[in-house]
Amino acid sequence: MSEQNEVTLTCRYDEMIPPGRDFRSREVVEAYDAFHRRFRDIEKENEAIISALGLQASHTIADFGSGTGAFALQAAGHCAMVHAVDVSQAMLDYTQWKAHSAGITNVTCHHGGFLTYEHAGAPLDAITSSMAFHHLPDFWKQKALHRLHAMLKPGGRLFLSDVVFAENGYEANIAGWIREMTAKVGADMAADLESHLCTEFSTFAWILEGLLARAGFGIDSAEHTGGVLAGYLCTRIDGGHDVRP
């Protein structure tokens, strides 16, 4: 290994102050939870992810950007332990409150993110993340994917969904997306999406797919929606490109 490859980064992107909406208050967190349930069948979405991952009663998983705990709490009924990881303490507090209210005892909350969470114990069977990866610039996405790869057992699964742009017609796709969501849930959504585009770090499919491959993930399936959303089901493999930053 060359001396250059042995260099360790001493700087790190501060993911604890994410771009976008401020989720440090209980009121904002509750409003976010209620808002998304107006236009999404969250339970159905979660069941599809659980089924795709093939979660079993013996499995331990981590959900990054766990938010209000919707996936973590639903997945808890299918596996041994769920680690809910989020940079918002208010989100984690809300998740813990919901878990306690429902009598769920196998969800553990961690204040951290893709770059800061340190997993203790045996390697994970699966990792999930929905609509959180765009908080990282592309350079740090690669670093994060290497970290997730290291947390998984050989053959472990990754489900990653996010705002991901198709290369062709992306401006028209984005405009259509904003119109569709505005008609569905109102002008506040248009403002949120426009803020997302201006201040957050969504990327192109060809970039994200390259980052996944270079971190050592095989993409088993990819579902693209409207040229603006994508979901990837991946498996940890070894022997990929070693270009970690």
Mean pLDDT by 10 residues, the chain (245 residues): 54 82 67 65 92 97 96 97 96 95 98 97 97 96 97 98 95 93 82 87 97 98 96 87 41
Q: Which CATH code for domain 20-236? A: 3.40.50.150
Query: In this structure, which amino acid lies at residue 91?
Result: M
Which residue shows structure tokens 């992107």? 13
160 neighbors 234 (Cβ within 8 angstroms): yes
Q: What is the pLDDT of residue 240?
A: 46
Q: How far apart are CA 235 and CA 216, in angstroms?
A: 9
73 neighbors 100 (Cβ within 8 angstroms): no
The model carries a pTM of 0.89
Domain ranges (residues) in the chain: 20-236
Element (H, E) at 31: helix 26-39
Q: Give, as one character, the DSSP assignment of residue 12.
A: -
Exposed / middle / buried, residue 166 (Cβ in 10 Å: 0-12, 13-18, 19+): middle
| CA–CA distances in Å: residue 207 to residues 16, 167, 201 | 24, 10, 12
End-to-end Cα distance, the chain: 15
Tokens matching residue 201:
């770090």
Query: In this structure, which amino acid lies at residue 149?
Result: H
| CA–CA distances in Å: residue 96 to residues 52, 75, 89, 160 | 26, 15, 10, 23
Exposed / middle / buried, residue 87 (Cβ in 10 Å: 0-12, 13-18, 19+): buried
Parallel, antiparallel, or unpaired: how do β-strands 152-165 and 203-204 relate? Answer: parallel
CA 159 and chain centroid, separation: 8
134 neighbors 196 (Cβ within 8 angstroms): yes
Chain length of the chain = 245
Query: In this structure, which amino acid lies at residue 215?
Result: A
Give the three-state DSSP class for 43: helix
Q: How far apart are CA 76 and CA 71, in angstroms?
A: 8
